[in-house]
Structure 1
Amino acid sequence: MILEESQNSNPREKNEWGAVTLRKPVPTSVAGSHDSFSYWVDEKSPVGPDQTPAIKRLARISLVKKLMKKWSVTQNLTFREQLEAGIRYFDLRVSSKPGDADQEIYFIHGLFGIKVSDGLMEIDSFLTQHPQEIVFLDFNHFYAMDEAHHKRLVLRIQEAFGNKLCSACSVESMTLQALWKKKCQVLIFYHCPFYKQYPFLWPGKKIPAPWANTTSVRKLILFLETTLSERAPRGSFHVSQAILTPRVKTIARGLVGGLKNTLVHRNLPAILDWVKTQKPGAMGVNIITSDFVDLVDFATTVIELNDLLQEDRALAKC
């Protein structure tokens, strides 16, 4: 979501918040990516602790890791490229790495990704260049992490963003005007009790993300509609995960093709058609995530839903 007016002629470089009153809360339609960091995973590293013992044994065969990569990667674009495309919500899963002497924290989705600190610095670089942009960083899965690992991760977050971090508060009290005045640009959601130790860590319950866990577009859309109708009208953001999840038999049938070619590419247009029918607001869509956000005009489609808010205000004045 490009918050500031841009001189760039690129249609994606638009003011996403143009339809939002500055003194109103921020329930706008936000484009997000699923497993946002997975554009690069390391075939040479150990299999992640998020995998079963059986997979870890199989992964001793080098070919298995190559096949795992085809199903672990859910994005083509780097953090910077996603930001430039209009993505503002990032789905993050992290882990310590066995044998890592520096005790760093890494992104993880079956295989290890880049260091979390490197990804955060890439995001911060963009935010520094775009001081009216706001991002949602959702740390929702933690693997092989004790208290020392959590402290290291939080330190990396502080080092990357400093005063850009937004302290947790009521969702309804958040306005663009207030965020810009405080120069706050980063909301960190932390799905672990450790969040209580830091004022800038938002509890995970403030950003629920129901998961359909299906390979069927029909079932996915029904699930998205149902969970939207059941979402809390106040007190939290809401993530609609517009993603399909492969079953074991799905992977077996499309082993070489991978997630993108087997499941995403042919179904994403239908999912995007559903997105186009949505409306943002208290009981409507808020944050919508997708795999491979570059395959269709996903971010722009989600962003343009905000125009409906402006139309409603215009009608209300009639």
Structure 2
Amino acid sequence: MLGRKLRMGTICSPIPSGTKTSSSDVCNADWMASLPPHLHNVPLSNLAIPGSHDSFSYWVDEKSPVGPDQTPAIMRLARISLVKKLMKKWSVTQNLTFREQLEAGIRYFDLRVSSKPGDTDQEIYFIHGLFGIKVWDGLMEIDSFLTQHPREIVFLDFNHFYAMDEAHHKHLVHRIQEVFGSKLCLACNVESLTLQILWEKRFQVLIFYHCPFYKQYPFLWPGKKIPAPWANTTSVRKLILFLETTLSERAPRGAFHVSQAILTPRAKTIARGLVGGLKNTLVHRNLPVILDWVKTKKPGTMGVNIITSDFVDLVDFATTVIELNDLLQEDRALAKC
């Protein structure tokens, strides 16, 4: 067990001697490949897997129109340039790029996408209040990592679609197929999906598509296979109670489970912390408490599975989640006794 932890704790790139490292410097690029053999045949739905919330929002475009996920009132206000600058402080929920998140150990990505007003080429963008990068660019970045790390598996959860008709959906799905090709895992029985099976078939990407369009493609998994209950609260106490309750209600079979360990600002929260933004107003002071909750959890049939967070680099989030899998090793050791 110690050997695996040492491998997980390596640094992705050399750092000068004497330089202090942060949690974002720790490299978990091959943590799945480094799991001990007896976990290779455990269903992925029973492993602890770190994820990020609004995974793409490390960059948003202040110069683009406000996204169609916003109300008409916000769209009118956003004609004032200062409003977009303030929106950015609340739209950004991550500091790390896709590549950096992957190297840190993140394997589940929460994706919201939209067409852009005035575009005639059916291009699709990530969206969270403001438009982010093109989906194509993000997928290419993920694919590049996966090619270099052939035993790592990712969950791409397309759960919100805005201003998209059938042609847009077809364009997006064809892009997904073009980028990942044979890495795409066909939808199947959740319990049958283990690291060993995926490695043998050379599958690395699970695509969840929360839209009836998934029925047209065998590599699109229905959204119901990956429920992600949302607490919708600013209270860390209420959040933890919600996470505990929804975990206890988790279906024992047939689906993955996402614990969204995130706080959601209300209008008055934004008004009070307008200039500070999401990170300084809600996340900084509450993330350590959320991480303490994570440390008390255990993966398994009715345990935690995928856990997501905002600003995954601010604490040792990914490593903390990954190391919960050590508890499955302890179970095995006790069984031998």
What TM-score, normalized to structure 1? 0.91
| Correspondence 1:86 to 2:75 | no
Q: How do 1:1-318 residues align onto structure 2 when only pairs under 5 Å count?
A: 29-318=48-337
How far 1:103 moved relative to its partner?
1.7
Secondary structure of 2:301's counterpart equals coil
Contact kept, 8 Å, 1:23 with 1:175, in 2: the verdict is no
How far 1:24 moved relative to its partner?
33
How far 1:295 moved relative to its partner?
0.3
How far apart in 1 are the matches of 2:269 and 2:49?
Answer: 30
How far apart in 2 are the matches of 1:260 and 1:21?
Answer: 27
Give percent identity, aligned residues only: 91
**CA shift in 2, pair 1:26/1:227, >3 Å:** farther
**CA shift in 2, pair 1:42/1:23, >3 Å:** closer
Secondary structure of 1:90's counterpart equals strand
How far 1:101 moved relative to its partner?
2.9
How far 1:93 moved relative to its partner?
0.1
How far 1:278 moved relative to its partner?
0.2
Contact kept, 8 Å, 1:170 with 1:235, in 2: the verdict is yes
**CA shift in 2, pair 1:64/1:181, >3 Å:** same
**CA shift in 2, pair 1:24/1:121, >3 Å:** closer
Secondary structure of 1:159's counterpart equals helix
CA offset digits 1:61-99 (Å, max 9, x no partner): 000000000000000000000000000000000000001
How far apart in 1 are the matches of 2:166 and 2:302?
Answer: 37
CA offset digits 1:199-258 (Å, max 9, x no partner): 000000000000000000000000000000001000000000000000000000000000
**CA shift in 2, pair 1:88/1:209, >3 Å:** same
CA offset digits 1:117-172 (Å, max 9, x no partner): 00000000000000000000000000000000000000110111000000000101
**CA shift in 2, pair 1:25/1:114, >3 Å:** closer
**CA shift in 2, pair 1:194/1:216, >3 Å:** same
How far apart in 1 are the matches of 2:260 and 2:300?
Answer: 17
How far apart in 1 are the matches of 2:265 and 2:12?
Answer: 42
Secondary structure of 1:305's counterpart equals helix
How far 1:25 moved relative to its partner?
36
How far apart in 2 are the matches of 1:133 and 1:195?
Answer: 24
**CA shift in 2, pair 1:22/1:85, >3 Å:** closer
How far apart in 2 are the matches of 1:175 and 1:133?
Answer: 12
CA offset digits 1:246-274 (Å, max 9, x no partner): 00000000000000000000100000000
Unaligned residue ranges in structure 1 (runs of 5+): 1-19
Secondary structure of 2:142's counterpart equals helix
**CA shift in 2, pair 1:186/1:168, >3 Å:** same
**CA shift in 2, pair 1:261/1:22, >3 Å:** closer
Secondary structure of 1:306's counterpart equals helix
Contact kept, 8 Å, 1:75 with 1:291, in 2: the verdict is yes
How far 1:21 moved relative to its partner?
23
**CA shift in 2, pair 1:155/1:223, >3 Å:** same
Secondary structure of 2:51's counterpart equals strand
How far apart in 1 are the matches of 2:326 and 2:161?
Answer: 37
**CA shift in 2, pair 1:209/1:312, >3 Å:** same
How far 1:22 moved relative to its partner?
26
Tell which deviates more after alignment, 240-249 or 174-183.
174-183
Secondary structure of 2:113's counterpart equals strand
How far 1:100 moved relative to its partner?
1.4
How far 1:176 moved relative to its partner?
1.4
**CA shift in 2, pair 1:24/1:41, >3 Å:** closer
How far apart in 1 are the matches of 2:10 and 2:245?
Answer: 28
**CA shift in 2, pair 1:199/1:24, >3 Å:** farther
Contact kept, 8 Å, 1:74 with 1:260, in 2: the verdict is yes
Greater than 3 Å deviation, 4+ residue runs: 20-27
